[in-house]
Chains A and B, each alone.
Chain A
C-alpha cells in the first residue's frame, strides 16, 4: 500500500483497477523471414483481430454516441479491407521475404505521405485515419498489450502524466470511474473536464504514473486529494464507507434542486453554471442551475480542421438557449490564444501567450471570425434569454469597438429581415486589473460584469497559472484580489448593473461567504458545485457576511483571510 497527495480536482471517491494511459512504441525494423506462408498467416491473423475490434467499437459507438460518431470506424474497416493496401503488403512479404510489420509499415507510409501531400486540408487530415488503422494492425503484429482509452470496457481509474482535451473527449464515462495525473491544478483542463463529467479526480500528484501499473487497485479521493495504491482490505472498507457517506450527502443536496438560492436573511442570489458544449446543459438543469453564467464557445472551434460556419454556431447557440427555457445564458465570445491554440489559424508562437494576441484582441483584428460568431449569436437570440460577453477587455476603446461590430451585424440582419431579440444584455469579463480598477467608467457603458478570477488572479499576482513553480501565487483569498472584486461590485451597483463571477472562486466554499458579503449577484461554477453552494448560502446571513467581508478586506495575507472564514464557520457549527 502507498499513499500520494495531489490536488482535489473533482469531488467524489473512486475505487477501481488502474488503467495507465501511455503511448506505446510502434517502431519496427526490417527482418528477413524464411517461412513466407507463416508470415502471411500472421498478417491475416492480425487483420482478423483488428477487424473484430473495429466492429466491436463501431457497434458500441453506434449505441452510445450515435451514427455520426460511428462512421469513422466504418471508414477504418474499409481501409483495413482495402485491396489497394493489403495486396501490396502481401506482395512485399512474398517477393522480398520480409516480416509483416515492416511490409505493412512501408506500404502504409506511402499512403500517409500521399495524404499529407494533398492540397485539401481535409484530405491531409486523413493521414491520421491511415495511421490509426496501421497502429491497430501493428499492435497485433507486435503483440503489444495496449488498449486505446476510447475502448476501455471495464470499470477503471485512468492514470496519466496529463490528460489532453482529446484524451478526455475519448474517455467513456460508463467505465472511467475516476482519474489521477502527475501534473495539473484545479484550473487545468483535465480538472475542469473531470468536474463537467462528474468524475472524481486528483491531479498534480507529481509521480502517480511511476507508482502504479495497469491492474493495480487504486483509490482516488477527490474530496481530500488523496491517492492510495494497492490499499489494504481495511482501507478499502473505510473508503467504501466514505463513498457511501458522500453519496448520502449528494442525496441531501439534491433535495435543493428546485429550491431558490436565498440566504438565511432572505437575500436572493443566482447560481449559474459554466458550460463548454450544448451537451453540458443537461447537467446544469439536473443540478438545479438558475442559468448559464459562462458558455465557453472555444470548444466549437477546437478539435476540427477549419473555422466553424455561422450555421454550425447558430445551431449550437440555439440549442443551448432553447434547452435553458428562458433562463439567462451568458455566452463568452471566442477566447482563443494563451493555453488554447487553434492549429488551423496558424498563429505565430509567442513568448508570453497569456499576455499576447488572444481573445478579443484577436477578434478585433480577425473581424471575419468575430463577425461570423456575432451573426450566429444574434440570429440565435430569439430562441431564449441571451447575454453576450467579451473576454479580456483591457480598455473602454476595445469594448466600444467590439460593440460597434455587434451593432453593425445587427443592422445587417435587420436589413435582411432576420429577427433579432431586443433584450440582449451586453457585458464584459473583468479579468485584467486595469478593467477592475476602472470599473466605475466601464459600468456606465456595459449591462453587466462577470469577474473571471482565474485570469484576474494570474494577472494581478503576475504568476503564470500554467507554471507549477509559481503556483503558490494563485491566491484567490489574497486581500488584493478581494479588494479588486469589491471595487468592481461597488462600481456596478452604483450604476444599477449586476455582477457575476465565473471563475473557480465562485464555487469555492471558503470564498462564498466573503462574496455573498461583498454583494455578488451571480455565482457561476461547475454544475456539480451548484447544490453544495446553495446548501451553504441558505445557511448564511448576508448581513453577517457583510461584516465578515469588511474584516477580510482589512487582513494582510491570504492565510489570515482563510483563518478568519474558518473561525466563522467553526463558530456557526
Chain B
C-alpha cells in the first residue's frame, strides 16, 4: 500500500489545541478510503480521533509527522498540510 508522509514543527504557542485538532480530524474524516496517522514523541495515533491527536500532548517546538496510506493519500496529505499551515499550527520541517 502507498504511504506518504510529511513532518512539521509546531509553532503555535499553545501546541495543538482543540480548534485546530478538530479541523485536522474533520479533514482526515473526509477521506474515507485513506488511513491517516499522526506520529510524535514516539507515539503513533489515528488522525480520525480527536482524543488521539490531543493525547500526543504536542507543544510548541515539537515535531509531528503526518502519514497517509491508501486511497487518495496524496490529496489527503495536501489537505492536512493546508490545515497545519492555515491554522498557524506548524511549519514544514526541513
Contact = CB atoms under 8 A, between A and B. Distances in A.
Interface of A: 71-72, 74-75, 78-79, 82-85, 111, 114-115, 118-120, 122-123, 126, 129-130
Interface stretch (B1-9, B13-21, B30-38, B71-79): B13-21
B49 A83 contact: yes
Contact of B55 (A114, A119, A122, A129): A114
A126 B22 contact: no
Interface string B42-69: 0001101111101101010000000000
B15 A75 contact: no
A72 B18 contact: yes
B80 interface: no
Interface of B: 14-15, 17-19, 21-22, 25-26, 45-46, 48-52, 54-55, 57, 59
A123 B46 contact: no
Nearest to B26: A78
Contacts of A123: 15, 17, 54, 57
A123 B20 CA distance: 13
Contacts of A85: 49, 51
A82 B48 CA distance: 8
7 contacts: A74-B22, A75-B18, A75-B50, A83-B48, A118-B57, A120-B14, A123-B54
Contacts, number: 53
A114 to B, nearest CB: 6
B18 to A, nearest CB: 5
A122 B54 CA distance: 11
Given A74-B26, A82-B52, A84-B49, 12 more contacts: A72-B18, A75-B22, A75-B50, A78-B22, A78-B25, A79-B51, A83-B46, A83-B48, A111-B55, A120-B14, A120-B57, A126-B54
Contact of A82 (B26, B50, B57): B50
Contacts of A129: 18
Given A79-B50, A82-B49, A118-B57, A71 B17 contact: no
A385 B60 CA distance: 39
A78 to B, nearest CB: 4
B54 A119 contact: no
> 3 closest Cβ contacts across the A-B interface?
A84-B49, A78-B50, A75-B18
Contacts of A71: 18-19, 22
Nearest to A122: B14
A78 B28 CA distance: 12
A115 B54 contact: yes
Contacts of B18: 71-72, 75, 126, 129
A84 B51 CA distance: 7
A122 B50 contact: no
B31 to A, nearest CB: 16
Nearest to B57: A118
Nearest to A78: B50
Contacts of A84: 45-46, 49, 51-52
Contacts of A79: 50-51
A72 B18 CA distance: 8
B59 A119 contact: yes
B89 to A, nearest CB: 13
A81 to B, nearest CB: 9
B48 to A, nearest CB: 7
Contacts of B21: 75
Contacts of A122: 14-15, 17
Nearest to B19: A71
Contacts of A72: 18
A364 B52 CA distance: 43
Nearest to A118: B57
A120 B15 CA distance: 8
A85 B52 CA distance: 9
B16 to A, nearest CB: 9
Contact of A120 (B25, B26, B49, B59): B59
Contacts of B52: 82, 84
A71 B50 CA distance: 14
A120 B54 CA distance: 11
A70 B79 CA distance: 23
- Which residue, of A114, A119, A126, A130, has the highest number of chain B Cβ atoms within 10 A? A126
Contacts of B50: 75, 78-79, 82
A191 to B, nearest CB: 34
Nearest to B16: A123
A383 B51 CA distance: 44
Contacts of B51: 79, 82, 84-85, 111, 130
Contacts of B45: 84
A74 B48 CA distance: 14
A114 B15 CA distance: 16
Contacts of A74: 22, 26
A83 B18 CA distance: 17
A66 to B, nearest CB: 14
A307 to B, nearest CB: 13
A107 to B, nearest CB: 10
A115 B18 CA distance: 12
